[in-house]
Amino acid sequence: MRASLLLVQILYVCRYVSAQDEDYLELPEGFSIGAATAAFQIEGAWNTGGKSENVWDYRIHNNISLSVDNGTGDVSCDSYHKYKEDVQLVKNIGLNHYRFSISWSRVLPTGSSDEINKDGIQYYKNLLDECWSNGVTPFVTLHHFDDVQSLIEKTGGWSNESMVEYFADYARVIFKELGSRVKFWSTINESDVFCKVCAYLNESVINTAYRNRYLCAHNVLKAHARAYHIYDEEFRTIQKGKIGLVTNSGYYFPKSERDTESVDLAFDFEAGWILNPIFSKNGDYPEVMKTRIAENSKAEGLTHSRLPEFSREWIDYIKGTYDYLGINHYIPAMVEPANKTAEGRWYNDVGVIYTNHSEWKLTAMGWGVVPKAIGRLLRKITNTFNKPTIYIMENGVSFRSGVIDIDRVEYLYSYLKEVLLAIRDGCDVRVYTVWSLLDNFQWFDGYTQTFGLISVDFKDPNRTRTPKLSSYWLRTIIQKKKLIPFNKTMLNMLKLELCETFINWSDYGQNWNNNNIDKEG
């Protein structure tokens, strides 16, 4: 019965979208399509093989309600034990690259380079070797939100500048141990999000929280620069890799056509906060950030701005520390100016209010689906920072659609199309990475949000993986090197007897008879 229902669903969708047919768009030569994960979100094995407790282990174990479903990362996707299966999934989808992160606490249990966990290093060597042996290029991130808990207790966290040298020592160990197997490095993922949300969950005093988030980003930028220079001076000649930083940025649309300021303000306070010190001609933070935060700090009775200042030496040291610009993109917003408070303060320092448009389709996360946002973001970055090479390191969506994730296919098609149009218009975009390869632990949302190309059964001790429709669609466009509209893909799949493909997807090592479709029906 389910097989028949699936076929009816596919036929209906093909007929429904046929009127929306569009021309093919060719993928540029060398354009790499991949998928991403992060260590804490998929590995599990939280206390296995010499790994120590990280900040998320600690937070969740001490406050199980921190995630909405009381989930933990203790087992998650169990990728620590199932990494070969995951790489096989990457290979069979046909993805060019696989982005994953290193768990700092798995390789340096104390956070210090004085103690190296050889079991942890060997795990990542095995994962990297598995990627290369299957024709998959690994993209490796050094830091994706999961600091070593004991190190944070020792230092007080990223508001302490000592974290800069701890991170630099950690980076040097990883470059030395794994660098012969890695050609693409990212230092720190989404510094703005990490410093706004993850680093200071318990701050209740606004002034303190804001000051600490700015100190956090200040030191993260220094740490990134230290890691970049270490790689550039000590390892690049032999290893011949590339290294950059990954930041998050939405795109903003003015609520009023007369508002010519709010879009730039929002960009400067989000993306510019992290990118300007690295990618701008003069370095340092955007001037509007320095001005408005200083004004707010004065209105709050502070003698110094909550935004710390870089010395001339640090400005020069940080500026230009990139081989590429890594971007994660998810959230668009409508923006409008907010009036100053009676005390003369700018609202949230930036002085801008963010909302969704009433007509936007929303994801399960409540984020707007606005494909043109990613294209406009790429053009703005290109124009603002003198056409850097851009790697899109995360773009994806959570819907409630399950394995037949037609809405995810439509999302990826529409966003990828805007990326290709931005390339046509002169943006140097060479990489597109879907978040995520697997359904996984989504931080505060636990396992309630499903971003994966692959479904994971978290109730099954084996954490059974099941490919979604979107993974087949991606395989098709990568094979054909063309962005194919959804209805053409579906018709092609029908010609290839898609129904039987779903029932027996042997390429993926999945038993669709048991997991998805009852052939007896």
Number of Cβ within 10 Å of residue 326's Cβ equals 26
The pLDDT assigned to 324 comes to: 98
Q: Token pair of 215, please?
A: 């100190």
The pLDDT assigned to 371 comes to: 98
The pLDDT assigned to 496 comes to: 52
Q: How far is 304 from 293, CA to CA, in rounded Å?
A: 10
Q: Which of 203-212, 356-365, 393-402, 407-416 shows the lowest per-residue confidence on average (mean pLDDT)?
A: 203-212
Q: How far is 143 from 38, CA to CA, in rounded Å?
A: 9
Q: How far is 135 from 427, CA to CA, in rounded Å?
A: 27
Q: How far is 263 from 338, CA to CA, in rounded Å?
A: 13
Per-residue pLDDT reduced to its tens digit, 254-299: 999 999 999 999 999 999 999 999 999 999 999 999 999 999 999 9
CA Rg, the chain, in Å? 23
Q: Which of 46-55, 420-429, 493-502 shows the lowest per-residue confidence on average (mean pLDDT)?
A: 493-502
Of residues 238 and 3, more confidence is placed in 238
Confidence of residue 514 (pLDDT cuts 50, 70, 90): very low
Confidence of residue 484 (pLDDT cuts 50, 70, 90): confident
Confidence of residue 505 (pLDDT cuts 50, 70, 90): very low
Give the CA dihedral 159, 162, 165, 169, nearest 10 degrees: -100
Which parts of 197-306 fold into alpha helices (H)?
206-234, 236-239, 262-267, 273-279, 287-299
Q: Which of 1-10, 124-133, 372-381, 473-482 shows the lowest per-residue confidence on average (mean pLDDT)?
A: 1-10
In angstroms, the Cα distances linking 132 to 180, 238, 456 are: 12, 18, 24
Task: Note if the bond before 79 is cis, omega within 30 degrees.
Answer: no
The pLDDT assigned to 500 comes to: 46
Per-residue pLDDT reduced to its tens digit, 32-76: 999 999 999 999 999 999 999 999 999 999 998 999 999 999 999
The pLDDT assigned to 486 comes to: 72
Q: Token pair of 469, please?
A: 């429709």
The pLDDT assigned to 17 comes to: 41
The pLDDT assigned to 210 comes to: 82
For the chain, what percent of residues have pLDDT higher than 70? Answer: 87
Q: How far is 267 from 331, CA to CA, in rounded Å?
A: 12
From 449, 452, 477, select the one nearest 27 (Cα to Cα): 477
Number of Cβ within 10 Å of residue 30's Cβ equals 8
The pLDDT assigned to 504 comes to: 46
The pLDDT assigned to 13 comes to: 46
Q: Which of 282-286, 345-349, 464-468, 502-506 shows the lowest per-residue confidence on average (mean pLDDT)?
A: 502-506
Per-residue pLDDT reduced to its tens digit, 146-186: 999 999 999 999 999 999 999 999 999 999 999 999 999 99
Query: What 3-state class would DSSP assign to 432?
Result: strand
Per-residue pLDDT reduced to its tens digit, 184-229: 999 999 999 999 875 555 444 445 678 899 999 999 999 999 999 9
Average pLDDT over residues 241-262: 96
Q: Which residues are catalytic?
A: 190, 394
Q: How far is 417 from 400, CA to CA, in rounded Å?
A: 23
Of residues 514 and 158, more confidence is placed in 158
The pLDDT assigned to 18 comes to: 41
Number of Cβ within 10 Å of residue 45's Cβ equals 18
For the chain, what percent of residues have pLDDT higher than 90? Answer: 83
In angstroms, the Cα distances linking 490 to 15, 437, 454, 476 are: 10, 21, 19, 10
